[in-house]
Amino acid sequence: MDAPGERDLMGDTTRPEPEPRWLSDGEQRVWRSYLHATTLLEDHLDRQLQRDAGMPHVYYGLLVQLAQAPRRRMRMTELARSAKITRSRLSHAVARLEKNGWVRREECPSDKRGQFALLTDEGAEVLRRTAPGHVAAVRQAMFDRLSPEQVEQLGAIMRVMAEGLEPAGSHADLPWLR
CA–CA separation, 103 and 56 (whole Å): 15
Specify the stretch interacting with DNA by CB under 7 A; choose among 5-13, 83-91, 126-134, 139-147. Answer: 83-91
Quick check: 96 binds a copy of itself (CB under 8 A)? no
Quick check: 102 binds DNA (CB under 7 A)? no
Quick check: 168 binds a copy of itself (CB under 8 A)? yes
Q: Give the burial class of 67: count Cβ atoms within 10 A of its Cβ; 0-12 exposed, 13-18 middle, 19 or more buried.
A: middle
Quick check: 83 binds DNA (CB under 7 A)? no
By CB under 8 A, name the one of 7, 33, 95, 101 that touches a copy of itself.
Answer: 33
Build a one-symbol-per-residue string for 122-151: x at contacts with DNA by CB under 7 A, - elsewhere: ------------------------------
| Residue 104 site contact among a copy of itself, DNA, none (CB < 5 to 8 Å, cut-off depends on kind) | none
By CB under 8 A, name the one of 26, 110, 112, 178 that touches a copy of itself.
Answer: 26
Neighbours of 114 (CB within 10 A): 14
- Straight-line distance from the first to the last Cα atom of the chain, in angstroms, rounded to the nearest whole number: 34
Element (H, E) at 99: helix 87-99
- CB neighbour list of residue 90: distance below 8 Å, 6 or more residues apart: 62, 76, 79, 80, 83, 117
| Residue 175 site contact among DNA, a copy of itself, none (CB < 5 to 8 Å, cut-off depends on kind) | DNA
Q: How far is the CB of 58 from a copy of itself (least distance, A)?
A: 8
Angle at 136 between CA 157 and CA 104, to 5 degrees: 90
